[in-house]
Structure 1
Amino acid sequence: MARLYTVAAYITAYDDAIALNACVTALRFQSYCIQHILIVDNSSQALRLSEENQADDRLLVWHYPKNIGIAGGLALAIQWARQRQYNFLWTFDQDSTPASDCLEHLLAAYVKLATEAYVIGMIAPTAIDARTGQTVKPSLFLGDRFRGFVPVNPTLPYECDAPITSGALVSLRTVAHVEPPDAGLFIDGIDLDYGLRLRQAGFHNLVVPDAAMYHRFGVPFQLEILGRKKVFQLYSPLRYYYICRNHTYLELRHSQGWYRLTCCLRRLKFLLLTVLKILAFDAAPKGQKAIACVTGTYHGFLGRLGKTW
């Protein structure tokens, strides 16, 4: 494919040099060349890159030992890329490794589908759980909740409200029309909020099946229920807190009318089921994890954001 567009990549890094180096290496060897790779390292001590990665003059590392989170780093990266007049910013968590032709497939789909009347906000790869091999479902907002869905035709690019942020190729022509990612969300739900706000502003978000990316989420726990295998993701207390807080806040914020009541009931149901899952299947400290879920849900109802756990 002709080199039509300029692309910068961005990675949020935190306390995992192995994962960071794997992500950087995957970006360096894309079949479509990336101009720069910006890393925001939120670790208290700067992570060490391999000699091969350090030698790549496309890398730029910003160290924020106080930890500005995924949302804060992403907002800075969007501003940086826009000032340098890139066409796209390709956004990543350190836990992701795209296939070598991932960017090429994303841009090929963009060239084929984008028009003046059909303006694309984000175009994302198919995210695959690196531990379980399961395809991660993108989200639609259904009045009072975000819900993953399976497309009618999984072989063709399809629309969603919010692909996961990691691996999403953000068209920088859209950022003047939408507020940057909310830094108050810190580390979770950024994709749901930013993707939905792009859709509400009239842009289209797409997932491209031919573009593959592997991503690590929590710690998977597989259970067979009535003959069907079910995979649960288990997390740290900190991550449980932000998941419960941010999803409660975002779903309530975007719900309107009677949907606000059903949203509250659904969030309480989710809280109950999550606490039961923790008590039944999760590792210690079970009590701390359960308290994190309760506290996070409460803070979500209050709209209390920021780095609060």
Structure 2
Amino acid sequence: MKSQYKIAAYITAYEDPKAVMDCLNAIACQSSFAIDKLLILDNSTKKPLLHLTNKENILIKFHPENIGIAAGLTWAIKWAIEQEYDFLWSFDQDSVPAANCLEILLKTYYQLSQQDNYKIGIIAPTPSDPRTSKVIEGAVFFNDHFLALKHNSSVDFYECDSPITSGSLISLAAAKTISPPCVDLFIDGIDLDYGLRLRQKGFHNLIATKAIMHHNFGSPIQVKFMNKYRYIQQYSALRYYYICRNHSYLETRFSQGYYHFTSLMRRIKYMLLQILFIMLYDLEDKQLKIWACLLGTYRGLIGNISKTW
């Protein structure tokens, strides 16, 4: 393995300094490989991480107006490329990688990159939500929609189109070949778009099954629907808007030919199902959340992602 990869880490922070510190400490405690620089984009209104600005290896940008995940990731990728880093390790604040996570990611990257013409864009850990004990799956684009790829723990790694953003170790050599994350996506679908565009450029995106990361995914609640217990996610109206808008936009744009029409139908079906769950299980702001789903889906289908919520 290369004796010294140059690695920067990045965290998107928002109104939860404890979660940021837990993530930061887990990054700092990686067993075999040190992070050279830690970048933090703090979208919080009151700058709760101000005490970290005197740390030599930490660079913080404060944006109390909240510029979102996509803009922060774009900044971090651009900075790391300019500073000639090999990798950017990207995190949401509510993620905690195991102590050997980075070591496994880098060993897997090195072993596979020795193969002829095997170019790696992203290598990611296996994220699991400790609240539900469920693995958060990577995605593949199948004809007209993004589909969760069933986790395969019997192998050391497997490929997907798009691992989740948090925990992704991004090869900056690969990042130089495509445009940065789309800032208009703001907070949802960024991983789907970026990962699939790397795949379309011929890069492999991998999930390493032995590299473990705990990640709090959304706000899950357990409900009984059609005589079966299942977890569903509850969101704010803002999140419903961006989920419906961005996924509608991406899936209909990546779909080709006849599948463009079936994708449109699938997105309308998804919107109606979300509205049903809001009516059945949400306890507050039902009308606002329903409007968010309707408006987001409409804007996504017509391709207008410059409009914010």
**TM-score interval (norm. to shorter):** over 0.9
1:131-188 deviations in Å (ceiling 9; x for gaps): 2110011100001000102145643200000000110000001122111000010111
Indicate conservation of the 8 Å contact 1:163/1:205, yes or no. Answer: yes
Moved more, 29-38 or 199-208: 29-38
User: Secondary structure at the residue paired with 2:165?
Assistant: coil
Q: Which residue of 1 aligns with 2:78?
A: 79
Task: Determine whether 1:89 maps to 2:100.
Answer: no
Equivalent runs, 1:282-301 vs 2, <5 Å? 282-301=282-301
1:254-294 deviations in Å (ceiling 9; x for gaps): 01100000000000000011110111112211111111111
Indicate conservation of the 8 Å contact 1:10/1:39, yes or no. Answer: yes
Please, what is the CA RMSD of the aligned residues?
1.7
Equivalent runs, 1:1-309 vs 2, <5 Å? 3-31=3-31, 32-48=33-49, 56-115=55-114, 116-151=116-151, 154-225=154-225, 228-306=228-306, 308-309=308-309
Indicate conservation of the 8 Å contact 1:183/1:306, yes or no. Answer: no
In 2, the alpha carbon distance for the partners of 1:87 and 1:186 equals 25
1:103-152 deviations in Å (ceiling 9; x for gaps): 11100111111134101000000011132110011100001000102145
**114 and 283 in structure 1: CA distance in 2 versus 1, 3 angstrom threshold:** farther
Structure 2 length as normaliser, TM-score?
A: 0.95
In 2, the alpha carbon distance for the partners of 1:185 and 1:279 equals 26
In 1, the alpha carbon distance for the partners of 2:197 and 2:44 equals 29
- Distance apart, 1:66 and its partner CA: 2.1
- Distance apart, 1:223 and its partner CA: 2.7
Indicate conservation of the 8 Å contact 1:130/1:214, yes or no. Answer: yes
In 2, the alpha carbon distance for the partners of 1:306 and 1:131 equals 35
In 2, the alpha carbon distance for the partners of 1:142 and 1:174 equals 23
User: Secondary structure at the residue paired with 1:264?
Assistant: helix
User: Secondary structure at the residue paired with 2:176?
Assistant: helix
- Distance apart, 1:227 and its partner CA: 6.4
Gaps of 5+ in 2: none
Indicate conservation of the 8 Å contact 1:251/1:263, yes or no. Answer: yes
Identity value in percent: 49
Gaps of 5+ in 1: none
Could you tell me which amino acid in structure 1 is paired with residue 279 of structure 2? L
User: Secondary structure at the residue paired with 1:197?
Assistant: helix
Structure 1 length as normaliser, TM-score?
A: 0.95
